[in-house]
Structure 1
Amino acid sequence: MLPAEIELPLLKTLESAGDHIGELKSYIDAINQALLAAFKKGASIDSVITGRAHLVDKLLQSIWEQKCDPDCGAALIAVGGYGRGELHPSSDIDLLFLVEESLQQESEEQISAIVTLLWDIGLNIGHSVRTPEMCATEAENDITVTTTLMESRLLAGSESLYTEMQAATGPDKVWPPDAFFQAKLEEQQRRHKKYDDTAHNLEPNIKGGPGGLRDIQMIQWVARRKFGVTSLNELVERGILTEAEFRSLELGKKHLWRIRFMLHTITEREEDRLLFDLQQKLAAAFEHRDNEANLAVEQFMQKYYRTIARLQRLNEILLQYFEESILNADEKREITVLNRRFHIVNGYIGAVDSQIFSHRPLALLEIFFLITQNPMIRGIRASTIRLIHEHLHLIDRRFRNDPKAKQLFLQIVRQSHGVYRVLRSMNRYGLLAAYIPAFTNIVGRMQYDLFHVYTVDTHTLFLIRNMRRLTVPELSSEFPLASEIMASIDQQETLILAALFHDIAKGRGGDHSELGAVDALHFCRAHNLSEQQVHLISWLVKNHLVMSMTAQRKDIEDPDVIRNFAKLVMTPKHLKHLYLLTLCDMRATNPKRWNGWKDTLLKQLYRHTLRELNNPQSEADDYSELQKKQTQAREELADQDQKAVTQLWMQFSTDYFQHHSVQEIAWHADVILSTPEHEYPQVRIQCEMKPGASEILIVDIDHDNLFAIITSIIDQCALNIVQARCETTDDNKAINSFSVLEEDGSLICDRHREEEIRSRLIDDIKNLTEPPVNSRHVPRQLKHFEIPTTIEFSQDKTNMRTLLRLQTADRHGLLSRVGLALSQAEVRLLNVIIATVGAMAEDTFFLVDRNDEPITDPEHLERIKSLLLEHLE
């Protein structure tokens, strides 16, 4: 309840307001200000949320008395969340106007006047007008209506009418407990699926996501329908909920309430998503401060994620209990004995008695090993989940040093089935962090960027899930090369352990790869793995980012890049393990950003490196490879004049032949040799030329701003450029080839779409001298990151070119702006390696001057940098 010093002045304001719109608005504003002030002064969230509902009750009752006759034959009912007596600042006020059928027309006129007044004074109301019979019909057809009416309260009007409605919609009339539970369980499963069955998303929904407020309400609804209880505390009295679980539920609910209260206050609307910009504001509101290892927003979100993890576990325990007591109450218990400690009851594994873990702590790991041995096990019994949680303290240093515990853990990760499922459960119930103490730090840890869309622990488990999918024959068509390599790996636990430790040191300060490698080394040695396996796992953790960075940020067609990478990986065995770890890691970081192009880059790097490891190449071999390419390309150009082909290729740089495939070289030559001078520009689109991306080839007479114009048009066609290569012949023909993807990561596969892009490019290239102004909408999330622009130059002396590395905020039209700057700086662009990490673009440009020489003059380099900053800032 609210303190009298807050409530009484507000009620006096209401008393004098009558039905004056202005004064009623003032009353509502006074409620908002008083409750916000009380919250900031430390008032309990319960008193604030229930206090708002109480004060709105008084407002509605006052209006009812003024607008409705005592004998109008109607009742005003609070339903839904408001019916529970809970009201957040911007939540809808759900009302049911209950009317007698015989007096429906007369009462509806008075109800209309009330609704109009409520809208006029600015209340967010959701309302319906029904008779008790209509309520019963609607409830029978829609379980959501039943749920809403279950939580109803009579505010004013006919008590007998309200009692009639309750009786007509009770469990003996519609939706008996078993049907109600089954329907709500399926509803929750659908809701969770919308959020990828994880609460640990980038911008979680505090209400609807797994572990959110809806999951708490789910428990309340089922308990109310089955047992008639109106509060969670009553479940403790019935022995359904333990006192500790009740406290955990209440603490979790109150934490989520506080966050939701501030969400509504900050946004001034009913907002239940923890959007990126709001996370920072909430972190400040809850007085988190940045430190050396973690941002304030990361601290705030970690507390949030750990809260909902506890709530999700409690939701699972209680719903499983309800399933046993409601759905399966009359079923015969099917019991399969596994050993003296565990049995399976109706598909769920459980402890034979409550003292199992006290008498034999190793059983805390044994139960998970048994799950991997029995695929028919659906999960762990609710009572046993409780026992596990209550006995986690037994996993101490002595437990972890026990050879039998070590052997059990290794047996779990060595299984051919169920490893991901078991590790996920061990994480959910706290076993993983208890057994590997360093894992505790990453539970619920979110990085504040757009690249990592899951918490670190969830990402780690998804990585392992991706690995396990590679072992399933029925799924081998997803990643055939990776599945083939995985089948050749003898000790697959090497990959599982590397995955568990690859991000384990995040949030501790320092290089998490280096720190994690040390953790992995100690853990594996403590578990008596062979030194060869220990070093491989530690090496994988230390280098788990290298392959993705090489594939996406370096020129993997450059033989020197391949040779250097091959020196790092040393052996085909190291390469195979690193390839599998990298593939699964990239897919588990941000599945929506994974695409066929990244898959292609990784496979190319793997194959190039494997060839180098098996047959090291010299510079003479590199030259021989280029000659071989030309010979093969000539075979595809049999219809062309071979002397003309030779003359054309004499105008190309060695770099061109190094960076294009045989098919591309032949395609480009065919287009140029078949095109009269007056028919430029030529634009061609191919979807089969290169795996993982569509290819756009544009050949034109070179002129200023050509690259900037082309890239701007491609961007405005809603395409993402993933690679760009440029070549200018001695007779001034510009050959620009772009690997592109649709915004959803797919190829251009529609002929009408191809023609639309082609026509747009031809028309604009012909008519524009400067790139068009970019008008595309900037994604909301990108607006909340302040990323400074950094520019670095280096010299590639082997290939006689200058490398420009650019880090800046990702945005539409970025390549076009860079192209303008480079054109004004009088340099030629040879190649672009494009890498986007969350909100940051990390692109590498390969440049030469107008004489095809590397750019070494400091003044010229400074001019390039100044022009870039001018165009980008």
Structure 2
Amino acid sequence: MQTPYFERPLFFFDQSRFRRALAAGNSITVFKDAISAANAQFNARFREGEDIRALVSDRALFIDCMLHYAWHQFRWNTHISLLAVGGYGRGELHPHSDIDLLILLEDDGDNPHLESIERLITFLWDIGLEIGHSVRSLNQCVDIAATDITVATNIMECRTLAGSELLRDKLREMTGPQNIWPANEFFRAKWNEQIARHDKHNHTEYNLEPNVKNAPGGLRDIQMIGWVAKRFFGVRSLRELAGREFFTDEEFGILMAGEEFIWRVRYGLHMIAGRAEERLLFHHQRELAQLFGYRDSDRRLAVEQFMHAYYRIVLALRELNDVLLQYLDEAILQSPDKQATTPINARFQLRDGYIEVTHPEVFRQTPSALLEIFVMMGRDPDIQGVRATTIRLMRACRNLIDDAFRRDPTNNRLFMELLGSPHGLVTQLKRMKRYGVLGRYLPEFGQVTGQMQHDLFHIYTVDAHTLLVVKNMRRFRHPEAQTLFPIAAHIMKRLPKHELLYIAGLYHDIGKGRGGDHSTLGAVDAEAFCVQHGLSPRETRLVCWLVEKHLLMSAVSQKQDISDPEVIHNFALEVGDQNRLDYLYALTVADMNATNPDIWNTWRASLMRQLYLETKRALRRGLEHTVDQKELVEETQLAAIDKLADKGLDEQLVRDLWGDIGDDYFLREGHLDIAWQAEAIWRNRHQDPLVLIKETTSREHEGATQIFIRTKDRDNVFAATATALSLLGLNIQDARLYSSVEGYTIDTFYVLNENDEPIGDDSARVEEIRQALLHELSLVDAYSDIIRRRTPRRLKHFAMPTRATLSNELHSSYTVLEVISPDRPGLLAHIGRIFLEFGIQLQNAKIATLGERVEDVFFITDKQGAPLSDPSLCKELQEEICRRLDQRVEEG
């Protein structure tokens, strides 16, 4: 048997002992034992912090050795070779990466090695190697590579493991750029491949569970740079490009440091997952954070610190990928000397649609040009972007953006002009962020770049979310917003100064990650910005108020009873005037839509509309004029009676139907719904239970499905209803429960389906829901089964203790219970059961699911309809809710 030819000795692997064992025993067992021991040794070295490049290289070297010995278990002639291709061909191997092999034949004819090849492949699988293999002749390789860019790329990095070295040399020559895939065609094909890959990841580095290999800024982006550069320059490694002006020393340092970090992450990910896992799933994020030495602090969790570092590194790699590929495109492949230039001013010119500096010293001679270039692009939508050489100059000169630069009135004016850009404001802000300008001009923004919160509610990093908020604000000006966001679109037409809204958007979350109330911290930063940039005192007060109160409107709409005139009056007092209401509404809607696509649904849209319109009426009426509740109840009753008269029901009959139902019913429900329910009760007075289903609105992007239930007031009605609706895949958004005359309860539930949409006019689905509710409600007298459904994977990895708080401050008629708990199937049914056990009457419920947690608000009373007043009962209720819901979470 031949002696291995390895360039570096395998100090951790005794080959002499291995050969003796092969000669003495079962070869499969010997190989498996050697691989198992090597894996354990590699993992121990990784945990001890050994250099990742040495580990990845040594793993590949060890597998080279195993394949060498495996190859020589069988007979071959000189017309065949075993080649490593792909990442393994580069000499890189992570714990569970595929070992990509090409068995290369010299001729196309009969294969005399067929039996040996089959036995070799079977042997490799038997010893536990995760191989990917192909068996091809030279001509077959060329034919396939000529039409498949991936195959051509894999072959480009091949190396010989065993057999004839001449075959590898022939293959490289036959598949070289002089024969197939010349450099320009190769470049275009790989760039299109990258665009398609980025598209699968929504062109963002900031996914909650990013793919370290394929997402933007991941390993593929690094490899992409290497592939196209190697193809053009004809080199085997990026290090051979030193001195060829392809990248600067700083760029090469970023590339190498970024690759090492991603390699460490990927290596650890494979190791703890026990498979070729490329997704940074939540539970893996936590394990890796601990493994890499991050620890929880008062301000941020260890996992948040780890992911902050990850996002900042992949952002830098994404930027470098853009610059280097654009540099190849324009400076190497497009023959820039043949492109005409169009002057813009003394500092900038256009070349083939891209803006560039007129000479290399522009930014050093005129630092304000670092902002001016983005203002230029905001003025002219035909400018496609910035040329790579100019991006490099910006990167080299961004250290000029210091305190003096930030205080310069010229720069302040330029930034405000940018905020007023007619075209592509968000595009320019993203470019500024990517090129490192925005985070330097606004250091507070630089602090939150790449910062994330470890939950399912905030699905973007703070910087990505912030720019998405501004993007949403700009969308409100577009024609489609008239349908999707009618109130916001109307507001944007009449706002006196859009820039104030954009500034509030930029600063609303800027205080996150510092400890303390981020709204208050952000307001301080916003005030400094406004003063620095010459805003008037009145404009400054508005921006600061918006930043400080940016969560107010969503909290009131989702957690308070906005059918209560007192709630509306208090909110109107807080807002103060119509101008602030308009700005706050636009900011809130933009913020909610930029936090998580699942947060803004048709029901929340209708709640926001209701709160806005009711507050607008209150402001118009005058804050000194409070609504008389008795007067409002009478108005609603008379309007419903008038409507019912058309249906043949006289006033006395209607009032008898209403019986002794409380005023809350007439305050919360509109007169049309009251009339609809009263008529249905009369027409179906002998039916129990009575279930009615309809849509709350005809507006396409607002509302929910309304389910009205009238049944005898028995135990478990709420728990049974909640269970049935959950089994049907319906999510309760709001619940209103009233006791009626003669021992009946009338309940209204507002629900959305699993896609956060109303049911619509699907009559079959409506009837399915009605029958399911009738069946479940028929069982309430002997009701004991609470829904048990499998908890989704993502939810299982977010453990947080349940919090239950009680308050009588917001309303004099009932106690407000807020429950914050991990989201689990059947949660509402469990809470309903607890209410039953404690003799609690549920009057109203506001249900909010925010990622992995729920923030539900229940308006409750005792059996006599009074707010809870017994401190010991309140304490016991809170403790029991926490205990039972936490037990549900543990059961999963």
Normalising by structure 2, we get a TM-score of 0.94
Contact 2:96 2:276 in 1 (8 A): yes
Q: Which amino acid aligns with 2:11?
A: I
Contact 2:217 2:316 in 1 (8 A): yes
Give, in whole Å, the separation in 2 of the partners of 1:699 and 1:17: 81
Quote the RMSD (CA, aligned, Å): 2.2
Contact 1:803 1:846 in 2 (8 A): yes
Q: Which residue of 2 aligns with 1:751?
A: 763
Change (3 A) 1:759 1:106: farther
Change (3 A) 1:535 1:686: closer
Q: Does 1:301 align with 2:310?
A: no
Q: Which residue of 1 aligns with 2:53?
A: 46
Give, in whole Å, the separation in 2 of the partners of 1:694 and 1:449: 29
Give, in whole Å, the separation in 1 of the partners of 2:555 and 2:156: 56
Shift of 1:140: 3.0
Q: Which residue of 2 aligns with 1:852?
A: 865
Contact 1:829 1:847 in 2 (8 A): yes
Shift of 1:745: 1.4
Shift of 1:375: 0.7
Q: Does 1:639 align with 2:651?
A: no
Moved more, 158-167 or 573-582: 158-167
Residue among 664, 669, 685 paired with 2:678? 669
Q: Does 1:505 align with 2:505?
A: no
Give, in whole Å, the separation in 1 of the partners of 2:120 and 2:547: 66
Q: Which amino acid aligns with 1:627?
A: E
Q: Does 1:624 align with 2:631?
A: yes
Q: Does 1:259 align with 2:265?
A: yes
Give secondary structure in 1 for the equivalent of 2:73.
helix
Contact 2:788 2:826 in 1 (8 A): no
Give, in whole Å, the separation in 1 of the partners of 2:19 and 2:641: 90
Residue among 106, 117, 126 paired with 1:120? 126
Give, in whole Å, the separation in 1 of the partners of 2:248 and 2:177: 26
Identity of aligned residues (%): 42
After TM superposition, list the pairs within 5 Å mapping 1:326-337 onto structure 2: 327-329=333-335, 332-337=338-343
Residue among 50, 53, 67 paired with 2:74? 67
Contact 2:380 2:423 in 1 (8 A): no
Give, in whole Å, the separation in 2 of the partners of 1:88 and 1:410: 49
Give secondary structure in 1 for the equivalent of 2:567.
helix
Give, in whole Å, the separation in 2 of the partners of 1:553 and 1:61: 68
Q: Which residue of 1 aligns with 2:819?
A: 806
Contact 1:822 1:868 in 2 (8 A): no
Change (3 A) 1:11 1:787: farther
1:219-271 Cα offsets, whole Å, 9 max, x none, are 11111222222222233321111111111100000011011111111111111
Q: Which residue of 2 aligns with 1:31?
A: 38
1:781-811 Cα offsets, whole Å, 9 max, x none, are 2222222122222226855212212122221
Contact 1:834 1:842 in 2 (8 A): yes
Shift of 1:446: 0.8
Q: Which amino acid aligns with 2:176?
A: G
Residue among 700, 712, 717 paired with 2:711? 700
Give, in whole Å, the separation in 1 of the partners of 2:11 and 2:592: 54
Give secondary structure in 1 for the equivalent of 2:14.
helix
Give, in whole Å, the separation in 1 of the partners of 2:7 and 2:518: 49
Residue among 715, 724, 735 paired with 1:713? 724
Q: Does 1:237 align with 2:247?
A: no
Change (3 A) 1:843 1:163: same
Give, in whole Å, the separation in 2 of the partners of 1:782 and 1:194: 24
After TM superposition, list the pairs within 5 Å mapping 1:157-196 onto structure 2: 157-196=163-202
Shift of 1:854: 2.5
Q: Which residue of 2 aligns with 1:598?
A: 604
Contact 1:502 1:516 in 2 (8 A): yes
Give, in whole Å, the separation in 1 of the partners of 2:7 and 2:498: 60
Q: Which residue of 2 aligns with 1:16?
A: 21
Shift of 1:478: 2.5
Q: Does 1:786 align with 2:799?
A: yes
Q: Which residue of 2 aligns with 1:682?
A: 691
1:460-508 Cα offsets, whole Å, 9 max, x none, are 1111111111122454332121011011112111011111111111111
Unaligned regions of 5+ residues in structure 2, if any? 1-5, 888-892
Contact 2:342 2:351 in 1 (8 A): yes
Q: Does 1:458 align with 2:464?
A: yes
Q: Does 1:86 align with 2:97?
A: no
Give, in whole Å, the separation in 2 of the partners of 1:520 and 1:482: 23
Q: Which residue of 1 aligns with 2:856?
A: 843
* Aligned structure 1 segments of 4 or more residues deviating by more than 6 angstroms: none
After TM superposition, list the pairs within 5 Å mapping 1:169-568 onto structure 2: 169-325=175-331, 327-329=333-335, 332-473=338-479, 475-568=481-574
Q: Which residue of 2 aligns with 1:762?
A: 774
Contact 2:94 2:266 in 1 (8 A): yes
Change (3 A) 1:70 1:754: same
Give, in whole Å, the separation in 2 of the partners of 1:184 and 1:442: 33
Residue among 721, 726, 739 paired with 2:750? 739
Give, in whole Å, the separation in 2 of the partners of 1:776 and 1:793: 29
Q: Which residue of 1 aligns with 2:3?
A: none
Change (3 A) 1:44 1:760: same
Give, in whole Å, the separation in 2 of the partners of 1:6 and 1:758: 73
Q: Does 1:826 align with 2:826?
A: no
1:105-124 Cα offsets, whole Å, 9 max, x none, are 43222111111111111111
Q: Which amino acid aligns with 2:29?
A: G
Shift of 1:44: 1.4
Contact 2:379 2:422 in 1 (8 A): no
1:259-285 Cα offsets, whole Å, 9 max, x none, are 111111111111111111111111111
Contact 1:689 1:695 in 2 (8 A): no
Give secondary structure in 2 for the equivalent of 1:161.
helix
Contact 1:470 1:482 in 2 (8 A): yes
Change (3 A) 1:2 1:651: farther
Give secondary structure in 2 for the equivalent of 1:612.
helix
Contact 1:681 1:765 in 2 (8 A): no
Give, in whole Å, the separation in 2 of the partners of 1:331 and 1:390: 24
Aligned length: 872
Give secondary structure in 1 for the equivalent of 2:294.
coil
1:807-860 Cα offsets, whole Å, 9 max, x none, are 222211111000011112222211101123332222111112233232323344
1:489-546 Cα offsets, whole Å, 9 max, x none, are 1211101111111111111111111111111111211222111111111111111111
Residue among 775, 778, 782 paired with 2:788? 775
Give secondary structure in 2 for the equivalent of 1:774.
coil
Shift of 1:683: 4.6
Moved more, 734-743 or 244-253: 734-743
Give, in whole Å, the separation in 1 of the partners of 2:320 and 2:747: 58
1:73-100 Cα offsets, whole Å, 9 max, x none, are 4321211111111100011111122234
Contact 2:786 2:830 in 1 (8 A): no
Give, in whole Å, the separation in 2 of the partners of 1:818 and 1:836: 15
Q: Which amino acid aligns with 2:695?
A: Q
Shift of 1:765: 2.1
Give, in whole Å, the separation in 2 of the partners of 1:182 and 1:699: 66
Give secondary structure in 1 for the equivalent of 2:711.
strand
Change (3 A) 1:362 1:14: farther
Normalising by structure 1, we get a TM-score of 0.96
Give, in whole Å, the separation in 1 of the partners of 2:173 and 2:714: 82
Unaligned regions of 5+ residues in structure 1, if any? none
Contact 1:652 1:727 in 2 (8 A): yes
Give, in whole Å, the separation in 1 of the partners of 2:657 and 2:16: 89
Give, in whole Å, the separation in 1 of the partners of 2:803 and 2:814: 20
Change (3 A) 1:562 1:457: same
Give, in whole Å, the separation in 2 of the partners of 1:635 and 1:645: 10
Give, in whole Å, the separation in 2 of the partners of 1:203 and 1:332: 45
Change (3 A) 1:726 1:102: same
